[in-house]
Structure 1
Amino acid sequence: MEKTYDPHAIERHWYETWENRGYFAPKGEGAPYCIMIPPPNVTGTLHMGHAFQDTLMDALIRYHRMRGDDTLWQAGTDHAGIATQMIVERQLNEQGVTRHDLGREEFLDRVWQWKHESGGNITRQLRRMGASLDWSRERFTMDAGLSAAVTEVFVRLFDEGLIYRGKRLVNWDPVLHTAISDLEVVSEQEQGHLWHLRYPLSSGDGHLVVATTRPETLLGDTAVAVHPADARYVELIGQTIELPLTGRRIPIIADEYVDPEFGTGCVKITPAHDFNDYAVGQRHDLPLINVFTPDAHINDAAPEAYRGLDRFEARQRVIADFEALGLLERIDDHTLMVPRGDRSGSVIEPYLTDQWYVKAAPLAKPAIEAVRDGRIKFVPENWDKTYYEWMNNIEDWCISRQLWWGHRVPAWYDAEGTIYVAHDEAAARAKYALPADLALRQDEDVLDTWFSSALWPFSTLGWPDSTDELKRYYPTSVLVTGFDIIFFWVARMIMMGLKFMGDVPFHEVYVHGLVRDAEGQKMSKSKGNVLDPIDLIDGITLDELLAKRTRGLMQPQKAKQIAKATRRDYPDGIPAFGTDALRFTFAALASTGRDVRFDLARIEGNRNFCNKLWNAARYVLMNTEGQDTGLDAQAPITLSLADRWVISRLQRVEAEVAGHFAGYRFDLLARALYDFTWHIYCDWYLELAKTVLTDASAADDAKRGTRRTLVRVLEALLRLLHPIMPYLTEEIWQTVAPLAGRAGDTILLQPYPEADDTRLDPLAEKDMDWVQTFILGVRRIRAEMDIAPGKPLPVLLAGHGDDDRRLCTANRAFLDSLARLQSIDYLDDAATAPESAMALVGDMRVLIPLAGLIDKDAELERLTREIGKLEVNLSRCRAKLDNANFVERAPVEVVEQERKRVSEMESTIARLQEQHARIGAL
């Protein structure tokens, strides 16, 4: 092994080796275990959410593969309708060409060309993360097999009356000219205005005042609503108002939707341009007047004066006209949530248009029961409440998109607009017995990508054909996903799986939190706090990081703010941590259901953990390579207390880790492995083993036993760690495995360690606890009294029993070596001990006479100086926190850091004062 751990020197080599040798493919033996990867967008790049989620999935896959299960992690990507089309259209625009210039067929050829040349970036990045997906079975939502499955599902649902075409409100992107899902709408607070407008009563007896943030939509108003119990307006219900600028008369209606405490208690109702108003309009049978074109200009349904205006130009014209008529009551500044398309950035409009819908309620009922009766279990369980809430209030699902890239709707129309749905045009003519000369045109729309991904658990396995893979791996074992797509994806997969497979698509849904920054803020480009997993693996300079974070920002002031924060947080850029350190950090942070606060300090600590394991392995190899490690079964073996203890502790951690894998407690299993590796094996056992191996008087069978324990425990530990840290463990295992008597080409296919209760040794653990307490007690005294680490210490034992004498005698070599002892003497009960520092080991007192070890006066003077410095700094920090201006104006993280410093200094001062008092009393 090289002297220094260098992740880049090993990672690419081992991944290529694993993939080229086909290690990721299922073996066809053992119980089936299958996870479907949530298909990332083919346009995408790996972000922290992907890296976090895929680390957890890969840990499960590697664990079950090593347990001997027939393990399949299904690879694949989503065609990402909007995002992909935008990329290719942008490329065409740079050449002065539009998709309409090319026509549909040639444009789609260009998209496929882009996909083949540039669409694999995220799969390459997944490989960098060590994701052991079965790439030989990789699927794409637009490949021939999945496309056939999508068409089959659409036709069947239509034939059963579960898909229909209808005119309803949708989220409409006026730039992309398509409906989009709620998940593709990003709503953020923006500063705007609230206009208070007067609507005259038709009776001429006054007016009502309505408040709106979108005055231009009043051109499509069809009512004004008040609460039925609002005494101010009861007498007006049923009367009408004259809608200004339009020449139309609209009714005053009563509806409990209205909040009488908000504004004036009067609400304008525009059913064609607001989702809540649409519901009110349905209840009161109001007309729907759409006043927008697809690109959000005013259409011919509005008065002539406004036709053709952009919606925001129309807004200014409407306000000016109201003011001219004396009908503008007032304008208030107002903070509101503005919905924007996540791709175009355009303000989204509720828009009335013809779309294709799935009747969701009949599909939702069995899906609700599947969770209620336990066939599907959410982890943590509380997420089933979210699932029930959505499913019990489900509305029909808009599945059409006005794009060219995607699964084209398999529907054809004749000149009268009659709809014919079938697998293709020939099938439509045969199915509906249409004459050969009847002209048909195919629907221009494509299907929402969520429609195709809802079929993912069975379409990827070959459905609608009855394949061997489908029979073996469906239902899959677990779905690993974020809570934000429980409805958009999880629920829809359950509905489709039950409908077309007659069974649930997975047995468990593990719901993880979102990855946030160190302050708990959501990562976003606009905040400049996004971290790139590949940058954490490879490292990135400050200049490169600044360029990446400010690229494309149109607001210079925003770019300056992000640059300032970046320089503050990463003055030297981000060092290269390697994949294993990043993966271990993700696992350690994955507490059930909670959002993850990602702090570089954590990954730095875990890079140190990687170094610790690497250096421990080098030490073991230096003491075992070319030596007898007990491979000869005929050679006698004697195990020391330390050997028996570490073997017993290994059984306990093996059992603990198995339990944490079963419960999806990645944080706890990471902690258990960290503690065993760092504290049990490295900090304690290696030092104890050194005592045996360097003892000239130790017998060969004792040294043989220690060498065997060193390599066998390390080899088992590498297998325990492998699912989380694949590269480092493989590299070390290749050298350690032969010394431990384990054969094989890769750790990836080795059996996962399982606890053996017969190897538990409670007595060894009890005795070693005594030894550790003794050594730690002496070390604490040495530290508190500022005694040099290498100075041998005389020890007196008082209040000891027979067991204490036995343990002291049996483990004298460990005590002398690790506690650096000069001598051990036993005091009888009547003896008077000299001035000493004391530690307790059970009822026994471990005494270290201080005469000649420390200069009492000098030590008291040193402690006094140290306490004084701390008190000065503490006073400064407290003064800052007592300053209201500092607390209110400084960044939250700076204030929190100052409070943390105060707490730490108070704790340190208290400890030093206690030490001062103890020495002063000697």
Structure 2
Amino acid sequence: MSLDSKFNAKEAEKRIFSLWQESGVFRSGQGKNTKAPPYSIMIPPPNVTGSLHIGHAFNNTLQDILARLHRMKGYDVLWQPGQDHAGIATQMVVERELEKEGKKRESLGREKFLEKVWEWKEKSGDTIINQLKRLGASCDWDRNRFTMDPDFQKSVIKVFVDFYHKGLIYKGTKLVNWDPKFQTAISDLEVEQIEVNGYLWELKYFLEEGSFKFGLEFDEDGNVTKYEDRNYCIIATTRPETLLGDTAVIVNSKDQRYKDLVGRKLVLPIVGRIIPVIQDDYADPNKGTGAVKITPAHDFNDWEVGKRNNLREINIFDEKAHIKIEENEEFLRDINPVEELWGLHGLERFEAREKILEVLKKYDWFEQESSDTHYVPHGDRSKVVVEPFLTSQWFVDTKKLVDRAMQVVKSNEIEIIPERDKKVYFNWLENIEPWCISRQLWWGHQIPVWYDENGTEYCAETEEEAKTLAGEKVLFRDPDVLDTWFSSGIWPIGTLGWPEKTKELEKYYPTSVLVTGFDIIFFWVARMIMMQLATVGKVPFKKVYVHALVRDEKGKKMSKSLGNVLDPLILIDKYGADALRFTLAAMAVTGRDLKLSESRIEGYRNFVTKIWNAARFIELNNCTLNEDFDPMLTKQPANIWIISETKRTLELVEENFEKFRFNDIANILYNHTWKVFCDWYVEFSKALLNSSDSKIV
């Protein structure tokens, strides 16, 4: 067919992508270069609930460039597509659908609810896959995988069981991010820090007996020269409701104001619990009053202080973040409360805050309040304030996995590009904490642990195996599911058929490169490395290319509330996929933030049109490919020149591909195509094509 006079991106892209799919060129197992090793890339699996955003478009454009390059060079290429089951996000979507029908998850029961989730997945779950195809992604779509596929579930469960029996997974009580709306633990990545205009309340904690000398003035050496007697200590807090769980007050060892207070006892307002004053340098003399209330069960920093000083941990909330003091043994121990305490039980936390402030004012425990702007953690999906919550969860003992994960990067067995991102990787591993992998949800990989009536654990791949271990005992299964980062942590081996010894696993593992954003180096990249090393003893990929995140033209994060979101599907409709893809490639400089403007995409649309017009010129002049063409026999100076320029361009492109300099490659190709080929060579060619010289070449 002949090319239209005007480029119609929508028509051309649909037609060409269909031709690609029908021809099977995206399928793995087709490399003609028998000397080249297989080339494999695993797509970072997008959430099944998601739709294509500009970050997906950027990430997948870079992967597509690498996949297509290696196919052109004759490699056997596997670009593995797939989707993550997105536990909390998917469950939330389906629960909303049920609410429209006047139904609740609990009324359906677990089995029926999961049937509804699968129904939703079959109906709406391929949205982002179809959108990736619109972008032109050349994945091996016949191999599309889902983290809840039966074979993948088998892989996930086996890893859990193996880790459990190796002592790498355990159940313990620890402080976690808790979402009171969804009533589940959530990861740090699901927590959004939002700046709020709130208050700082100063409260009086009275001494159990006597008074202390509070420093007012000091000499050059920091010694107190003037003081006043006080029978109370003033602390400052933005969360007065948590005082119910206080177990100490700390001051800095260098803070001379409180030198006489250290080692004394205070009476906790409202509760009447006797708590110590201790020295810990977490207290900042220049912040607040310098004296800090410590609530180990409801603040991550306080938790660390509590561990250092062997303090009690008193949980004062239930799963809904309502006050729980009745039938709370740890709370009720050694208290001498005022009567108003008992009216707090069952109150929602912010309602309790107001009641507590009223009581504090009534009994002269209130000093003053002032406006204060500070950051408060919110669930990124629930939009409610996240609570640090002391709860029993399953954890991976990541400290046992760190050494090998660090060694493979130090030795360059895994190369991280750019080099500076190694620091991010090492810093996280050096300060790693146990990884909470359990979630209080129904949708996901249910934890393969069963309990008898005495609470004894039986970890097995199937219920039948657990029953064999337990004998005649009645068992019930742990209701929790695994963090989606756990299942995506074995994405490379799971998609290739492990634990079976498949030919795909043998051929394509380890994978060649992982392309990912810097924001998930520790959430995903480091965990994949640790999990694959612990499971199969090999690294999951040979290289990691870490790219920046796409921002708006002013460098701000894109968000609906700011109205600065650039929707890739709208941009594709307006300018075409090629214009968007080339823009994204041309932006791919190393750094943290990339500024994207629509005017830039418009500019590259003109470039795509230029290529189309050049192709029409070639077609109109009946220029066809000659398989026997020998560039060494070229005689025309213009042809000799363009061959030389093209050779030099190819060498530059190859050199920059080795360094993952996508932006430099885009600029090189842009300059060669527009300024060298179109502006000069096409013009030179017009005279040659109109010539009667038979030796035109």
With the shorter chain as reference, the TM-score category is over 0.9
- Which amino acid counterpart does residue 3 of structure 1 have in structure 2? S
Residue 214 (str. 1) matches residue 239 (str. 2): yes
Residue 671 (str. 1) matches residue 667 (str. 2): yes
SS at match of 1:530: coil
- Structure number with bigger Rg: 1
- Which amino acid counterpart does residue 16 of structure 2 have in structure 1? W
Go from structure 1 to structure 2 and tell me whether the alpha carbon gap of 1:523 and 1:630 turns closer, same or farther (over 3 Å shift): closer
Distance 1:82 1:681 in 2: 52
- Which amino acid counterpart does residue 5 of structure 1 have in structure 2? F
Query: 1:279-294 alignment to 2 at 5 Å?
Result: 279-294=304-319
Deviations, residues 21-65 of structure 1 (Å, cap 9, x unaligned): 322111254421000000000000000000000000000000001
Go from structure 1 to structure 2 and tell me whether the alpha carbon gap of 1:370 and 1:638 turns closer, same or farther (over 3 Å shift): closer
- Which amino acid counterpart does residue 588 of structure 1 have in structure 2? A
Residue 693 (str. 1) matches residue 695 (str. 2): no
Q: Report the TM-score when normalising by structure 1.
A: 0.70
Query: 1:371-386 alignment to 2 at 5 Å?
Result: 371-386=409-424
Go from structure 1 to structure 2 and tell me whether the alpha carbon gap of 1:458 and 1:631 turns closer, same or farther (over 3 Å shift): closer
Distance 2:424 2:647 in 1: 39
Distance 2:625 2:20 in 1: 29
- Of the three residues 117, 128, 135, the one matched with 1:129 is 135
Distance 2:634 2:308 in 1: 85
Distance 1:502 1:83 in 2: 32
- Of the three residues 360, 364, 370, the one matched with 2:398 is 360
Counterpart of 1:462?
Answer: 497
Instruction: Give the C-alpha shift of residue 73 in structure 1.
Output: 0.4
Counterpart of 1:583?
Answer: 581
Distance 1:19 1:383 in 2: 37
Counterpart of 1:748?
Answer: none
- Of the three residues 435, 438, 441, the one matched with 1:403 is 441
Instruction: Give the C-alpha shift of residue 115 in structure 1.
Output: 0.5
Go from structure 1 to structure 2 and tell me whether the alpha carbon gap of 1:630 and 1:249 turns closer, same or farther (over 3 Å shift): closer
Distance 1:602 1:447 in 2: 43
Residue 198 (str. 1) matches residue 194 (str. 2): no
Deviations, residues 447-477 of structure 1 (Å, cap 9, x unaligned): 0000000000111100011111111111000
Instruction: Give the C-alpha shift of residue 587 in structure 1.
Output: 0.3
Residue 440 (str. 1) matches residue 465 (str. 2): no
Query: 1:19-98 alignment to 2 at 5 Å?
Result: 19-27=21-29, 29=31, 30=34, 31-98=37-104
Instruction: Give the C-alpha shift of residue 622 in structure 1.
Output: 2.0
Distance 2:591 2:155 in 1: 33
Distance 2:428 2:648 in 1: 42
Instruction: Give the C-alpha shift of residue 692 in structure 1.
Output: 2.9
SS at match of 2:287: coil
Distance 2:101 2:665 in 1: 54
After alignment, is 121-130 or 311-320 more displaced?
Answer: 311-320
Counterpart of 1:181?
Answer: 187
Deviations, residues 267-299 of structure 1 (Å, cap 9, x unaligned): 000000000101111111111111111111101
Deviations, residues 805-844 of structure 1 (Å, cap 9, x unaligned): xxxxxxxxxxxxxxxxxxxxxxxxxxxxxxxxxxxxxxxx
2:586·2:662 contact (CA, 8 Å) conserved in 1?
yes
Counterpart of 1:725?
Answer: none
Distance 1:335 1:90 in 2: 33
Counterpart of 1:162?
Answer: 168
- Which amino acid counterpart does residue 141 of structure 1 have in structure 2? T
Instruction: Give the C-alpha shift of residue 142 in structure 1.
Output: 0.6
- Which amino acid counterpart does residue 52 of structure 2 have in structure 1? L
- Of the three residues 597, 604, 607, the one matched with 1:606 is 604
- Of the three residues 317, 336, 345, the one matched with 1:307 is 345
2:467·2:475 contact (CA, 8 Å) conserved in 1?
no
Go from structure 1 to structure 2 and tell me whether the alpha carbon gap of 1:291 and 1:630 turns closer, same or farther (over 3 Å shift): closer
1:255·1:280 contact (CA, 8 Å) conserved in 2?
yes
- Which amino acid counterpart does residue 700 of structure 1 have in structure 2? S
- Which amino acid counterpart does residue 621 of structure 2 have in structure 1? N
Distance 1:661 1:175 in 2: 47
SS at match of 2:296: coil
Counterpart of 2:293?
Answer: 268
Distance 1:255 1:285 in 2: 12
Distance 1:657 1:291 in 2: 62
Go from structure 1 to structure 2 and tell me whether the alpha carbon gap of 1:637 and 1:370 turns closer, same or farther (over 3 Å shift): closer
- Which amino acid counterpart does residue 604 of structure 1 have in structure 2? E
2:246·2:293 contact (CA, 8 Å) conserved in 1?
yes
1:240·1:251 contact (CA, 8 Å) conserved in 2?
yes
Instruction: Give the C-alpha shift of residue 355 in structure 1.
Output: 0.2
Instruction: Give the C-alpha shift of residue 623 in structure 1.
Output: 2.4
2:514·2:543 contact (CA, 8 Å) conserved in 1?
yes
Residue 593 (str. 1) matches residue 598 (str. 2): no
Higher relative helix content: 1
Q: Which has the higher contact order (CA 8 A, sep 6+)?
A: 2
1:589·1:596 contact (CA, 8 Å) conserved in 2?
yes
- Which amino acid counterpart does residue 379 of structure 2 have in structure 1? G
Query: 1:343-742 alignment to 2 at 5 Å?
Result: 343-430=381-468, 432=469, 434-436=470-472, 438-538=473-573, 576-624=574-622, 639-694=635-690, 699-702=693-696, 705=697
SS at match of 1:236: coil
- Of the three residues 16, 19, 37, the one matched with 2:18 is 16
RMSD: 1.7
Instruction: Give the C-alpha shift of residue 198 in structure 1.
Output: 1.1
Distance 1:85 1:59 in 2: 34
Deviations, residues 562-607 of structure 1 (Å, cap 9, x unaligned): xxxxxxxxxxxxxx10000000000000012342100111111100
Instruction: Give the C-alpha shift of residue 234 in structure 1.
Output: 2.0
Distance 1:341 1:685 in 2: 58
1:512·1:595 contact (CA, 8 Å) conserved in 2?
no
Counterpart of 2:338?
Answer: none
2:634·2:640 contact (CA, 8 Å) conserved in 1?
no
Distance 2:95 2:399 in 1: 37
Go from structure 1 to structure 2 and tell me whether the alpha carbon gap of 1:470 and 1:231 turns closer, same or farther (over 3 Å shift): same
Instruction: Give the C-alpha shift of residue 406 in structure 1.
Output: 0.3
Give the % identical residues.
52
Instruction: Give the C-alpha shift of residue 238 in structure 1.
Output: 1.3
- Which amino acid counterpart does residue 28 of structure 2 have in structure 1? P
Distance 2:185 2:427 in 1: 25
- Of the three residues 101, 109, 120, the one matched with 1:114 is 120
Instruction: Give the C-alpha shift of residue 201 in structure 1.
Output: 1.2
Deviations, residues 876-920 of structure 1 (Å, cap 9, x unaligned): xxxxxxxxxxxxxxxxxxxxxxxxxxxxxxxxxxxxxxxxxxxxx
Go from structure 1 to structure 2 and tell me whether the alpha carbon gap of 1:637 and 1:166 turns closer, same or farther (over 3 Å shift): closer
SS at match of 2:82: strand
Instruction: Give the C-alpha shift of residue 488 in structure 1.
Output: 0.6
Instruction: Give the C-alpha shift of residue 633 in structure 1.
Output: 7.4
Deviations, residues 644-697 of structure 1 (Å, cap 9, x unaligned): 1111000000111111111110000000000000000001111112233345xx
Distance 1:619 1:9 in 2: 20
Distance 1:617 1:687 in 2: 14
Instruction: Give the C-alpha shift of residue 700 in structure 1.
Output: 2.5
- Of the three residues 246, 269, 274, the one matched with 1:244 is 269
Distance 1:33 1:632 in 2: 30
After alignment, is 577-586 or 518-527 more displaced?
Answer: 518-527
Go from structure 1 to structure 2 and tell me whether the alpha carbon gap of 1:207 and 1:537 turns closer, same or farther (over 3 Å shift): same
Structure 1 runs of 4+ aligned residues shifted over 4 Å read: 628-634
Gaps of 5+ in 2: 212-230, 332-340
Deviations, residues 333-388 of structure 1 (Å, cap 9, x unaligned): 11111111111101100001100001001111100000011101111000001100
Instruction: Give the C-alpha shift of residue 415 in structure 1.
Output: 1.2
